[in-house]
């Protein structure tokens, strides 16, 4: 029997090689395989977390059952298991040298939306839009934290709204559901039921708008949930800068995804 040592197999030939030859290694038997060198962009983004899994798992195992239950409850808010949410969060903290664990919350999980408005920046307005026919009943949700100051003389406000089109025979009409947020409040859940109409065109938009205020606005779990599921984009605020279109934003104002500390 021929004995071959130190073989290198080119890409695409591994399966054919296994069919033709059997290899024997000193002390242990192994399967020859091609080392993977090409990864998709999305896979590259999560590769660092794989190397942290042992460390994260040890940290998870050190948690009390009560705290694990809190993580399970928080994960359920966005359709994740508690351990999976903890892996996301803890991996971020390790990579960015943040000590300890986050406190699991029903109001926000992992990354959140963050709008900052510098002093004197003026009005801001952002939107996202698409075409999806709502199925009723439907409700508009948002969790938010605000640390803003305003000018009451000029009619200060911070609002989020959801608008959809319908035509019940009287011409194209817009239905707007609006939630006015307090300028100063800790994390709170807000919701508003949508008015029911027929003849929907499917066209909708969701907006964030401020007037005569400055400071910081944090938000998460912002979505419209109908009988057919969530129709709005990025409800967990992982890609805020990509999902929201700038309509009005003076110099210095920014809207992005942020890790809340």
CATH number of the domain residue 248 falls in = 2.60.120
Q: Look at 7-11, 201-205, 239-243, 253-257 and tell me which has the smallest mean pLDDT.
A: 7-11
Q: Residue 24's pLDDT band (boundaries 50, 70, 90)?
A: very low
Are 83 and 117 part of one and the same domain? no
Are 157 and 248 part of one and the same domain? yes
pLDDT at 29: 45
Are 90 and 116 part of one and the same domain? no
The full 3-state SS of the chain, as one line of letters, equals: CCCCCCCCCCCCCHHHHHHHCCCCCCCCCCCCCCCCCCCCHHHHHHHHHHHCHHHHHHHHHCCCHHHHHHHHHHHHCCCCCHHHHHHHHHHHHHHCCCCCCCCCCCCCCCCEEEEEECCCCCCEEEEEEEECCCCCCCEEEEEEEEEEEECHHHCCEEEEEEEEEECCCCCCEEEEEEEECCCEEEEEEEEEECCCCCCEEEEEEEEEEEECEEEEEEEEEEEEEECCEECCCCCCCCCHHHHCEEEECCCCCEEEEECCC
Indicate whether 16 belongs to any domain.
no
pLDDT in tens, 106-125: 999 999 999 999 887 789 99
pLDDT average, residue stretch 141-166: 94
Question: Which residues share a beta bridge with 86?
Answer: none
Q: Is the pLDDT of residue 25 over 50?
A: no
Are 170 and 70 part of one and the same domain? no
Are 151 and 232 part of one and the same domain? yes
pLDDT at 161: 98
pLDDT at 26: 42
pLDDT average, residue stretch 39-48: 62
Are 203 and 241 part of one and the same domain? yes
Are 133 and 183 part of one and the same domain? yes
Rounded CA-CA distance 228/34 in Å is 44
Q: Is the pLDDT of residue 145 over 70?
A: yes
Structural domain span for residue 236: 112-258
Are 164 and 241 part of one and the same domain? yes
pLDDT average, residue stretch 58-79: 97
Indicate whether 4 belongs to any domain.
no
pLDDT average, residue stretch 174-194: 98
First to last CA, the chain: 65
Question: Which residues share a beta bridge with 200?
Answer: 166
**Percent residues over pLDDT 90 in the chain:** 71
pLDDT in tens, 49-61: 567 888 999 999 9
Domain count, the chain: 2
pLDDT average, residue stretch 66-75: 98
pLDDT average, residue stretch 31-46: 60
Pairing of strands 157-166, 173-180: antiparallel
Give the torsion sign (CA, 79, 81, 82, 83).
negative
Burial class (CB in 10 A: 0-12, 13-18, 19+), 186: exposed
């Amino acid at each position: 029997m021929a004995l071959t040592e130190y073989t290198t197999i080119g890409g695409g030939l591994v399966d054919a090689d296994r069919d033709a030859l059997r290899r024997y290694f000193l002390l242990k038997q192994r399967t020859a395989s091609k080392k993977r060198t090409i990864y998709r962009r999305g896979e590259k983004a999560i590769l660092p977390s794989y190397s942290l899994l042992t460390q994260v798992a040890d940290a998870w195992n050190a948690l009390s059952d009560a705290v694990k239950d809190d993580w399970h409850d928080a994960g359920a808010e966005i359709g994740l298991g508690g351990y999976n949410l903890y892996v996301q969060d803890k991996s971020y903290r390790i990579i960015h040298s943040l000590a300890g664990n986050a406190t699991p919350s029903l109001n926000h999980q992992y990354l959140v939306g963050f709008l900052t408005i510098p002093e004197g920046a003026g009005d801001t307005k952002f939107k996202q839009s698409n075409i999806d026919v709502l199925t009723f009943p439907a409700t508009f949700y948002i969790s938010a934290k605000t640390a803003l100051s305003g000018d009451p003389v000029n009619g200060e406000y911070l609002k989020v709204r959801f608008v959809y089109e319908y035509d019940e025979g009287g011409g194209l009409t817009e239905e707007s559901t609006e939630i006015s947020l307090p300028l100063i409040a800790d994390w709170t859940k807000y919701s508003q039921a949508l008015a029911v109409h027929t003849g929907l065109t499917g066209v909708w938009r969701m907006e964030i708008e401020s007037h005569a205020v400055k400071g910081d606005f944090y938000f998460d779990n912002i979505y419209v949930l109908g009988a057919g599921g969530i129709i709005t984009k990025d409800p967990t605020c992982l890609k805020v800068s990509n999902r929201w279109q700038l309509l009005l934003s003076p110099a210095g104002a920014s809207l992005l995804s942020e890790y809340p500390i």
